[in-house]
Amino acid sequence: MRIFLLAIFFITTFLFSAETVSAASLTYVKDLIFTSNPNATSTHTVEFTATNAVPVSGKIVITPEGGYFNIPVAFDYTDVDFSVASSGPFMDRQLAASADALNDGVSVVSGLSGSITINLNSSGGLNAGDRVRLEFGSNADFGEIGDQNIVNPSSAGSFKIRIQTKNSSDAPIDSAAAMIAIIEPVSVSANVLSQAPIRSNGLPAGEIPAGSDMVEISLNTNKEATCRYDTVSGTDYDSMTNTFSSTGSSTVHMVTLSGLLDNTSYTFYVRCKDSGNFTNDDDFIISFSLKATPPPPSTGGESEAVSRRGGGSGAIIGGSERLYLSSVLLEGWAYPITNLNILKDGEIISGVMSGQDGFFKKEISGLERGTYTFSIYAQDGDKRKSSIFSSTLSLRQGTNNKISDIVIAPSIELKNDTLKVGDKAVVFGESVPGSTVELFVDKQQKNKNTIGEGSKFTASSTKGVKGFRDGSWKISFDTSSFENGTYEVKARSILNGQAESSFSRIVWLGMGGEPKPDFSLRADLNKDGKVNLIDFSILLVHWGGSDQNTDINLDGTVNLSDFSIMLFNWTG
């Protein structure tokens, strides 16, 4: 089982407090932080929906709870990304130190009583119903990459992040506050295998709009588990009859409830059990309430604006039947300081840069309900591309989803692809800093599984080694025991002895002559000595994907070319 807990993420929801009498409440408010450890530096991703329009030269003011969060002196506009979505995807807005006709300005008050203000430019404000995303810290990657993160409070507890919109005269428009949970770090060891699942991110929370007669409740666990719930506290797991389903992986659990009533509070008590039968003996509480039924909208010109207010799962936007949109957070590890491309259903939709330690995260939002395949690949410092990681998710309406524990396969290159028996072979590339790289070298021949039946070598990727780029790896091995012929060479990364990548792309090594890959030998996908309907079925399962064991000609996609090779070698 893959186990990893580098940081705990909290998507906070939501205190809608009318902190200023004349200000309305922002909706869909959340703040996602990178780490919840006390006194740690952390990125923040703040999102909200504007209830009322913000005029040109207006302001967005973010104020962490005074005396607890510390904004560094060097924090400036380069540490901020500001993007807005009206009806489609988020679009980045250009930032500068001060606002002008084209650029939005960023002013910062540093220290323990600090704040960050986005001063809108003189040409473009915000419309009622616009969705706003603000990224603070090293996750700000539009234009310049941020290098200053906000420092968490020094002790555990719950703390407010206040969000306000104002006009150019500083008069308040909308206001809300998100709550951040700061907790002591959880150490990761083999003991996590013998512990009950850790539960987090229970949603929804607080008040949700009236009329939400169907609501999805969800939570995350730190490892694969099955979760159940009851409406009576203290009910043990085996006595619970209501079970969550999983989405994408069995670390994300959700269920749709129907028949909920306005002006009513609901509380659900959740317990989970992992594959080792370790079960929670305490309740994890998901609690929320539906607002009172609002009065009928007026028939005047404001009906459209009224219909755009509110929020929550299943909200009707703009009076249409369009479902409330979902998001997917991708997080994992790649080569250090490298660009990764993110694809949705085969098309590049975004990019993200990994940090010095190889960690990356990126949220894809604005997704309607449906099934999507998300893929991601990296390019190392010498422009070598990795193989493609892919995962398919079925998204429900208005949900926040996560694909975690992504480990990008190492890049790979042969110093020489043609050797004589007895020569030393040298293979190198880049991987996650500090990971273990496993190299597999298999002679290509009929009826042989090409994974792990030949020679296997291991090495550690560098982490701050002088003279090497962080994440570099290199393996040399003797070929005295090899035979003449063509060999497949591939690698994978093992991180912290737990999380592992898929295999890298294949490179070919020729012993006694140039490598001559015979793709017909790869048509027998299940290695039973026959090319028949079983192999064809395997091909169909991976059709359009990038699975290397099914991609017969290794062109990156399982498609008609592979099917043609299979038909040519058909034995029945």
Q: Which CATH architecture has domain 326-406?
A: Sandwich (2.60)
Spatial CB neighbours of 336, under 8 Å, sequence gap ≥ 6: 354, 355, 356, 357, 358, 433, 469, 470, 471
Whether residue 69 is predicted with pLDDT greater than 50 in this model: the reply is yes
Please, where in the chain does CATH 2.60.40.1220 lie? 189-308
**Looking at this protein, which amino acid is placed at residue 239?**
S
Most confident of 52-61, 146-155, 257-266, 374-383: 52-61
Specify whether the backbone of 248 is left (phi greater than 0), alpha (psi in -120 to 50) or beta: left
Q: How far apart are CA 316 and CA 397, in angstroms?
A: 11
What pLDDT is attached to residue 345?
79
Query: In 3D, which of 130, 313, 48 has the Cα closest to residue 205?
Result: 313
Record the pTM. 0.43
Number of other CB atoms surrounding residue 109 within 10 Å:
12
What pLDDT is attached to residue 150?
94
Name the phi and psi angles at 423, rounded to 5.
Answer: -70, 160
| Tens-digit pLDDT profile for residues 509-534 | 999 998 888 777 777 877 777 888 87
Q: Residue 306: enclosing H or E segment and its boundaries?
A: helix 303-307
Look over the chain and give the mean of its residue pLDDT values, rounded to a whole number. 78
Specify whether the backbone of 491 is left (phi greater than 0), alpha (psi in -120 to 50) or beta: beta
| Tens-digit pLDDT profile for residues 416-427 | 999 999 898 899
Please, where in the chain does CATH 2.60.40.10 lie? 326-406
**Burial of residue 416, with CB atoms counted within 10 A of its CB: 0-12 exposed, 13-18 middle, 19 or more buried:** exposed
Secondary structure (H, E, C), 67-106: CCCEECCCCCHHHEEEEEECCCCCEEECEECCCCCCCEEE
The answer to whether the CB of 196 falls within 8 A of the CB of 279 is yes
Which DSSP category does 442 fall into?
E
Query: In 3D, which of 205, 135, 162 has the Cα closest to residue 69?
Result: 162
| Tens-digit pLDDT profile for residues 126-157 | 999 899 999 999 888 887 888 899 999 988 77
Specify whether the backbone of 513 is left (phi greater than 0), alpha (psi in -120 to 50) or beta: left
**Burial of residue 83, with CB atoms counted within 10 A of its CB: 0-12 exposed, 13-18 middle, 19 or more buried:** middle
**Looking at this protein, which amino acid is placed at residue 487?**
Y
What pLDDT is attached to residue 126?
93
Most confident of 274-288, 439-453, 467-481, 494-508: 274-288
Q: Write the DSSP string, 275-296.
A: TT--B--S-EEEEEEEPPPPPP
The answer to whether the CB of 435 falls within 8 A of the CB of 403 is no
SS3 content of the chain, % helix, strand, coil (to 5): 5, 40, 50
The C-alpha angle with vertex 307 and arms to 302 and 313, in degrees rounded to 5, equals: 165
Share of the chain above pLDDT 90, in %: 24
| Residue that is written with structure tokens 């990761």 in the block | 188
Number of other CB atoms surrounding residue 47 within 10 Å:
24
Secondary structure (H, E, C), 359-427: EEEEEEEEECCEEEEEEEEEECCCCCECCCEEEEEEECCCCEEEEEEEECCCCCEECCCEECCCCEEEE
| Residue that is written with structure tokens 């919109």 in the block | 165
What does the block give as tokens for 1?
A: 């089982």
What pLDDT is attached to residue 232?
93
Q: How far apart are CA 27 and CA 15, in angstroms?
A: 10
The C-alpha angle with vertex 195 and arms to 10 and 405, in degrees rounded to 5, equals: 50
The C-alpha angle with vertex 567 and arms to 561 and 571, in degrees rounded to 5, equals: 150
Q: How far apart are CA 223 and CA 245, in angstroms?
A: 15
**Looking at this protein, which amino acid is placed at residue 146?**
G
Q: Which CATH architecture has domain 522-568?
A: Orthogonal Bundle (1.10)
Q: Which CATH architecture has domain 413-517?
A: Single Sheet (2.20)
CA 172, 174, 175, 178 torsion-angle sign: negative
What pLDDT is attached to residue 185?
59
What does the block give as tokens for 521?
A: 């030998």
Cα distances (angstroms) measured from residue 117 to each of 18, 78, 166, 170 = 20, 13, 10, 11
Most confident of 152-161, 251-260, 399-408, 419-428: 419-428
Whether residue 93 is predicted with pLDDT greater than 60 in this model: the reply is yes
The answer to whether the CB of 255 falls within 8 A of the CB of 244 is yes
Confidence of residue 298 (pLDDT cuts 50, 70, 90): very low
Q: How far apart are CA 322 and CA 344, in angstroms?
A: 21
Spatial CB neighbours of 1, under 8 Å, sequence gap ≥ 6: 193, 223, 224, 275, 498
First-residue to last-residue Cα distance in the chain: 37
Q: How far apart are CA 240 and CA 231, in angstroms?
A: 9
CATH class of 189-308: mainly beta
What does the block give as tokens for 237?
A: 């797991």
What is the CATH code of the structural domain delimited by 1-188?
Answer: 2.60.40
| Tens-digit pLDDT profile for residues 153-184 | 988 777 889 999 999 999 999 988 877 777 76
Beta strands in 113-192 (DSSP E): 115-119, 131-136, 150-151, 157-166, 172-182
Whether residue 325 is predicted with pLDDT greater than 80 in this model: the reply is no
What does the block give as tokens for 458?
A: 């291991």
